[in-house]
Amino acid sequence: MLTEKPVMTFLDELASSAPAPGGGSAAALAAAIGAALVSMVANLTVGKKKYADVQDDIQRILSHSEALRHKCVKLLEDDVAAYTEVIRAYKMPRDTEEQKQARSATIQEALKGATAVPMERAEACVEILNLCPESAEKGNVRAVSDAGVGALMAEAALRAAAFNVWINLGSIKDKAFVQKEGARLNALLEGKAELKEEILKDVEAKL
């Protein structure tokens, strides 16, 4: 599995001419890092007397951020698998009309699968970003900058996921699917850049 390899191996493969891993995998890693930073802030707050009145909230944040971290790691692997299916579909034979039709249908299904993964990643990124305001507000003030970096990573990964969705939607012929998924993505993106900026302002005020 890609996620079990050393960081330098992952980066070498990312930098190579191989089609995968690519931007989707990098974005999934960024999202996982964002979630991990939220967990870091929580772990630096758990058990501290100074933050005794927010321990329940911090434990809830930690449970959620850890679940999201592991989900994003899985989505990194899912992204590679989905893109591999797209490549495989494009390599199908097209010598006969029947083969052309089969190839076209397989490509379309593979593209839908390749859209589903970054869409799920976008949803996870929104959840990570939504944890950051409370993390910055209630978490250990000495780690508040980490909450800010977590927000930056989550919002960047969200935008990256949007790119991955849009590029696939551009090749999908099912107009109803394209319209539905496009609207779903726009709803996820709405207000998130502004939320990130609000979090950064709150973080900067505590530095």
- Give the ranges where the chain is alpha helix by DSSP (H): 7-15, 23-43, 55-90, 97-138, 144-169, 175-189, 192-206
Say how many C-beta atoms besides its own lie within 10 A of residue 71's C-beta.
20
Q: Is residue 3 part of a domain?
A: no
65-91: pLDDT as tens digits: 999 999 999 999 999 999 999 999 999
150-199: pLDDT as tens digits: 999 999 999 999 999 999 999 999 999 999 999 999 999 999 999 999 99
Q: Is residue 6 part of a domain?
A: no
Q: Is residue 15 part of a domain?
A: no
Q: Is residue 117 part of a domain?
A: yes
Reported as a pLDDT band with limits 50, 70 and 90, residue 206 is very high
Q: Is residue 29 part of a domain?
A: yes
For residue 9, the model assigns a pLDDT of 93
Reported as a pLDDT band with limits 50, 70 and 90, residue 99 is very high
Give the Cα separation of 47 and 55 in Å (integer).
Answer: 7
Give the Cα separation of 69 and 125 in Å (integer).
Answer: 10
Which range marks the domain in which residue 114 is found? Answer: 21-206
Q: Is residue 7 part of a domain?
A: no
The CATH code of the domain that includes 115 is: 1.20.120.680
Q: Is residue 194 part of a domain?
A: yes
State what percent of residues in the chain have pLDDT above 90: 94
Question: Based on the structure, what is the number of domains in the chain?
Answer: 1
Q: Is residue 133 part of a domain?
A: yes
Mean pLDDT within 41-52 = 97
Give the Cα separation of 151 and 172 in Å (integer).
Answer: 32
Non-local (6+) Cβ contacts of 122 within 8 A are 158, 161, 162, 165, 185, 188, 189
